[in-house]
Amino acid sequence: MAHRYHLTVRSTDIDVIGHVNNAKYLEYMEWARFEWIWEQGFTLDELRRRAIMPVVVNININYRKELKMREEVTAITTVVKVGEKSFVIRQELYNAADILVADADVTMVMIDANTRQSISLPAELKEALLVELPKS
């Protein structure tokens, strides 16, 4: 099931060209990822308690349309692939007219917060991700 996160473009998101700076699209996706993973039960406190952290190791983003100040944006996050130590999610940004403005495939790896080495996904997270994985 897709996770939805809503936001409004702020004045500080705008660059000298008068539209949202490309780096802000990535930031919007980051906010949506955090909300999504927290809803899976892995809040920042829980991640710290377990001494684990999900880290982005790859993002492939397509910028499709510009966004302007005060536009309403919906970020949709879906699971694409689940591995032993990593998972891939697709994130899509839509404007208020429901037009796709950007999309990205994001690969994340779970690491041990102390050793900074990759580790297996926690069983509960892997199970939650597999439930979200579209049936093919």
Query: Annotated active-site positions, please?
Result: 15
CB 93 within 8 A of CB 102: yes
Element (H, E) at 95: strand 86-95
Phi, psi of 119 (to 5 degrees): -135, 165
Cα–Cα distance between 22 and 15 in angstroms, integer? 9
